[in-house]
A and B are shown apart, each in its own frame.
Chain A
Amino acid sequence: MSGWQKIKQIENDGFLFKISFAIVLRSIAFQYSHLFAERVELNSPFYSFNHLNDGVALLEDGFDPYSGNDFNLPPISLYALYFLQKYVPNLLPTLWILMDISTALILSKISGTKTLMPFLFYAFNPISIASCSILSLTIPQNLLIAMIFWAYRLDYSKTVAILIGFWSSFTLYPLLLIFSLIFVANHKISAVFLAILAFFAANLVNFVLNEWSWSFLDSTYQVILNFTNIQPNVGLHWYFFVQVFEHFRTFYTSAFTILYFFMGIPLTLIIRNDKEMHFISILLLITTFFPYPTLNSATICLALLPVLEKYRNYFRYTLLVPTTLITTIALMPVMWHMWIVSSSGNANFFFGATLTYNVALIYLIMDLIFVYSRRQIDVLHGDSIKKQAKFGYSFY
Chain B
Amino acid sequence: MYRIFLLFTLCFAKEEYWENLKLDRVSENELKAEFRFGASRENLKNERDFEVFPRILDELIEEYDVKYLLVIMGQGRWKDDKWGRKTQPGAVHGAQVYADFEANSEEGADKKLRFLIEALNGILCTSLSQISLITSPQLEIFKRPKYSTSQQIFRRYGILSRETTCTENLTRLRKLLACRQSGISILLHPSKLYDVLYHASHLIVKKNEKISEMEVGITAVFKNKNPIQGSNWLLSSIFESKLSSSCGIATKSQIEANNQIYDVKNLETSFDIEITSKPISNEAKLVKGWTSQGGSDQQNGILHISLQNGDLDSKLEVSQILPYFVQPRYAKISFKNCQITRKALQTSKNEKSSALLQYEIIIKSGEKCEITIPFDKKILRLDDYPPDANHGMHIPAAVIFVSQKSDSYTIHTNPILVALPVPDFSMPFNVICFVATAFALIFGPLQLYSTMWLAPSPPRSTFWRKINRLILLILIVLCLYAHFMEINLNEVRRGIEQYLEKLNELR
Is residue B446 contacting chain A, with contact meaning CB distance below 8 A?
Answer: yes
Please give the distance in Å from B283's CB to the nearest CB on chain A. Answer: 39
Residues of A within 8 A of B383 (CB): 246
Residue of B nearest to A248 (CB): B432
Contacts of B422 in A (CB 8 A): 346-347
Q: Is B446 in contact with A267, judged by CB distance below 8 angstroms?
A: yes
| Chain A positions within 8 Å of B355 at CB level | 68
Indicate whether A68 sits within 8 Å of B435 (C-beta atoms), given known contacts A242-B381, A270-B446, A359-B441. Answer: no
Nearest A residue (CB) for B455: A394
Bound-complex Cα distance A231 to B310 (A): 43
Interface residues of A in 356-371 (CB under 8 A from B): 358-359, 362-363, 365-366, 369-370
Q: Contact: B454 with A373, CB < 8 Å?
A: yes
Would you list which residues of chain B between 276 and 334 have a CB under 8 Å from chain A? 296-300, 327-333
The answer to whether A340 and B432 touch (CB under 8 A), given A69-B351, A355-B438, is no
Q: Once the chains are docked, how many angstroms separate the CA of A355 from the CA of B442?
A: 14
On whether A366 and B331 interact (CB within 8 A), knowing A340-B298, A347-B421, the answer reads no
Answer yes or no: A50 CB below 8 A from chain B CBs. Answer: yes
Give Cα A288–Cα B441 distance, bound, in whole angstroms: 12
Q: How far is the CA of A243 from the CA of B430 in the complex (A)?
A: 10
Rounded to whole angstroms, the CA-CA distance of A55 and B331 in the bound complex is 8
Is the C-beta of A38 less than 8 angstroms from some C-beta in chain B? yes
> For chain A residues 362-390, which have a beta carbon within 8 Å of chain B?
362-363, 365-366, 369-370, 373-374, 376-377, 381, 385, 389-390
Nearest to B448 among chain A residues (CB) is A393
Size class of the contact patch on chain A: 35 or more
Q: How far is the CA of A55 from the CA of B449 in the complex (A)?
A: 45
What is the CA–CA distance of A162 and B497 in the complex, to the nearest angstrom? 78
A392 touches B441 (CB 8 A): no
Chain A CB within 8 A of B491 CB: no
Decide: A54 and B329 in contact? CB cutoff 8 A: yes
Q: Which of B300, B327, B422 has most A Cβ within 10 Å?
A: B327
Partner of B330, one of A57, A244, A340, A355: A57
Across-interface contacts of A242 in B (CB, < 8 A): 379-382, 423, 431
- Please choose the segment from A91-99, A113-121, A136-144, A233-241 that sits at the chain B interface, where 4 or more of its residues have CB less than 8 A away: A233-241
Q: Nearest-CB distance from A393 to chain B (Å)?
A: 4
Assess whether A347 is in contact with B423, with CB atoms less than 8 Å apart.
Answer: yes
A223 to chain B, nearest CB (A): 11
Bound complex: CA A391 to CA B442 (Å) = 21
Minimum Cβ distance to chain A for residue B171 (Å)? 36
Distance from B223 Cβ to chain A, minimum over Cβ atoms (Å): 39
A residues less than 8 Å from B47 (CB atoms): none
Residues B134-186 near A (CB distance < 8 A): none
A373-B449 contact in complex given A236-B435, A256-B439, A391-B455, C-beta closer than 8 Å:
yes
Q: Provided the pairs A54-B329, A243-B382, A339-B421 are in contact, do residues A393 and B452 lie with their beta carbons within 8 angstroms?
A: yes
Stretch at the interface among B83-91, B118-126, B342-350: B342-350
- With A54-B329, A267-B446 given, is the CB distance from A67 to B349 under 8 Å? yes
Complex CA distance for A267 and B348, rounded to whole angstroms = 41
Asked if residues B451 and A395 are in contact (CB atoms below 8 Å), the reply is yes
Instruction: For A39, give the chain B residue with the smallest CB separation.
Output: B299
The answer to whether A245 has its CB under 8 Å from any CB of chain B is yes
Q: Check: A259 CB closer than 8 A to any chain B CB.
A: yes
Report yes or no: B349 in contact with A50, Cβ–Cβ below 8 A.
no
Instruction: Give the residue among A243, A263, A394, A396 with the most B Cβ atoms within 10 A.
Output: A243
Any A CB within 8 A of the CB of B2:
no
CB < 8 Å neighbour of A362 from B299, B332, B347, B442: B442
A393 to B382 CA separation, bound complex (whole angstroms): 43
Whether, in the assembled complex, A27 has its beta carbon less than 8 Å from a beta carbon of chain B, the answer is: no
B454, A232: Cβ atoms under 8 Å?
A: no
Known: A70-B327, A266-B450, A377-B456. Is A369-B381 also a contact (CB below 8 A)?
A: no
Interface string of A240-273 (1 = CB under 8 A from B): 1111111000000000100100010011011000
Q: Given known contacts A63-B345, A67-B347, A370-B454, what 13 new A-B pairs fall within 8 Å (CB)?
A: A54-B332, A67-B349, A70-B347, A236-B435, A240-B432, A242-B381, A242-B382, A243-B382, A244-B431, A259-B443, A341-B298, A370-B449, A391-B455
| Interface pairs (20), CB distance under 8 Å | A57-B330, A57-B333, A239-B431, A243-B432, A256-B439, A270-B449, A270-B450, A340-B297, A343-B298, A347-B423, A369-B449, A377-B454, A377-B455, A381-B456, A389-B457, A392-B455, A392-B456, A393-B454, A395-B453, A396-B453
